[in-house]
Amino acid sequence: MNDSTWVLDGGRVIDPANGVDRIARLVLHEGKIHSIDTPDGDLPPEAGRLDVTGKIVAPGLVDLATELREPGSEEDETIQTGSDAALAGGYTTVLCCSSTKPLMDSAASVQLVRQIAQRIDGVRVLPIACLSKGRQGEQMAELGILAAAGAAGFSDTPRPMPNDALLKRALDYCRMFDLPIFDRPEVPELADGGVMHDGRIGLVLGLKGLPTEAEDLAVARDVRLAEATKGRLHVGPVSTMGAIDMIGRVKSRGIHISASVCPHNLFGSDELLRSYDSRYKVHPPMRSPSHVEALRNAVAEGVIDAIESGHMPRAQEKKANDLDLAPFGASALETTLAAIATDLVETKILGWSRAIECLSTSPAKIAGVDGGSLSVGANADVTVIDPNQAWSVEAKQFRSRCQSSPMTGRTLAARVTHTLVGGRLKFELNPAAANTAS
């Protein structure tokens, strides 16, 4: 049997890029999408078979901002453990943030991450290089050299970009390479020292807030610069009604800008922080219920283009600190798809096709990378989902080194059963080990 040639029989094939949503047979051959609904007599003789009856067959998920932490902070995550977590969550491609040590502001550091990922041979890892030297927001990094080294885009994420002039120059400059810039919108001076959403709950708990204005003002700056430069700018993740309103208005005027949201901002509100549990200390912070409702509607209406995991792994000894001292962060790669299925699909806010579009097709388009499609000839990056397999989240069972998750204890409504990268089966859920909710 050829390990990159498969026949996936009987599944519901969902491919938003091509408008496909029907029961079909998908054939993968030599690492590429070969065909849909091939007759028995025309199947490759060396193909392996997967019976996916009752399951969804979709293009592999693509994440726009994954922190892998290696090199330099391997106590939080490694490329190996991050890759394993991504595959278990249905991801076939992740864009890796520049929060490494050394930072990815040199060709050597970008190439190192690529080399480690190639050696591991798991999920596809595409480095996002620093936008500014040392992520200090003062001097633009050597973007041309970083692009030549294999950077898929530029960002100082998880830090915001406070320097308006630098961002404008970078947007102009990056048009030469046709590479995107990703900005995490926040005004540092307004957010400094904040622990949670700046609202009534934070006031009651005596915790310093992260005001919505810190995000809203940064988004206003971002969309205006995107309009002025016509550069490829992605804003996200966003978490406020004000940000949604501005993004929606500029899109209605035909300005090209994209935005994303994290699953934790579509699930829980700041009420969860009453527990003082640091697993709910995430960034962007959990906002009030009115923001959660607005974000859900924005995803459904297309104002928000993509859903990113928000995977910011931090070691348990760091998260075990008091809430005001613990770092922001959580493990999210293994729960994102299931959380979206539970919070948006099961509640009829999204259909499965729109959910797959937000998790796969749109992120691939935003990043300008191969993926997000089951077109004939495309890379055979495929995710198989059981939409009816409920399971209870136990962070101790994660493949990620980070065992802090706001989803811990929840029963989620769907689960990834198989992940194939380049036609090779990289993850298969062990039925005996599946933690299925009763």
What residue ranges of the chain have pLDDT lower than 70?
1-2, 41, 432-438
SS3 210: strand
pTM, two decimal places: 0.95
Query: What is the predicted pLDDT for the residue at 434?
Result: 55
Cα separation, 51 vs 303, in Å, equals: 37
Cα separation, 331 vs 289, in Å, equals: 23
Starting at the earlier edge strand, list the strands of the sheet with 61-66: 61-66, 91-96, 124-129, 153-154, 181-183, 233-235, 258-261, 306-307
Could you give the domains of the chain? 5-57+379-391+411-433 (2.30.40.10), 60-377 (3.20.20.140)
> pLDDT of 297-350, one tens digit each?
999 999 999 999 999 999 999 999 999 999 999 999 999 999 999 999 999 999
Query: What is the predicted pLDDT for the residue at 2?
Result: 57
Query: What is the predicted pLDDT for the residue at 438?
Result: 37
- Region of residue 54 (left: phi > 0; alpha: psi -120 to 50; beta: else): left
> pLDDT of 183-213, one tens digit each?
999 999 999 999 999 999 999 999 999 999 9
Beta-carbon-side half-sphere exposure of residue 293 (alpha carbons within 13 Å): 3
Tokens of 350: 């999204």
